[in-house]
Amino acid sequence: MDINMPLLDGIATTKILNENFPKIKVLALSVEENEKTILKMLRAGAKGYLMKDTKKEILEEALSQVIEKGYYHTNTISKILIGSLTKDEMEIELKEREIEFIKHACTEMTYKEIAEKMFLSPKTIEGYRDSIYEKLNFKNRIGLVLYAIRNDLFKP
């Protein structure tokens, strides 16, 4: 399964397969090297993750291992998995509207303009801002913008 596909991405497809057809074993084969993407794919139910430039012999070994053991992980993927278990910071789940707010906050719009764009009151926008600042431990809009860039929520 690839991550980037036209109609439904590989993560969503894998999740659907895992929920509806649990006997199907998915092995991810992608160019995506982003740790968060790899973890999302594995959490969706992929039994392994390989890069598209993987040698034929390793792909064959991975397919055999997934069939025999139920999973296959390279050393790199194992390190990512172990690292995800030992990270100090808890992964923060943001709501869809919070992400929308963050994207607008990364522009030159004022909070009043963001409120108008999102069809919300300025007080509600202040509430989003304060809640996000608290969740992510930010003191100002600059921290929010840096977070958005690092986490692919905004591209300057």
Mean pLDDT of 100-125: 95
Q: Is 98 helix (H, G, I), strand (E, B) or coil?
A: helix
Q: What is the full DSSP assignment across 41-97?
A: HHHHT-SEEEETT--HHHHHHHHHHHHHTS-B--HHHHHHHHHHHH-SSPPPPPPHH
What is the rounded average pLDDT of the residues 9-16?
93
27 by DSSP, 3-state: which?
strand
Stated pTM of the model: 0.55
Domain positions in the chain are 10-86, 96-150
Residue-level pLDDT at 91: 62
Give the confidence band of 89 by pLDDT, cuts at 50, 70, 90: very low
Domain 10-86 has CATH 3.40.50.2300: yes
Distance CA 62, CA 74 (A): 9
Topology adopted by domain 96-150: Arc Repressor Mutant, subunit A (1.10.10)
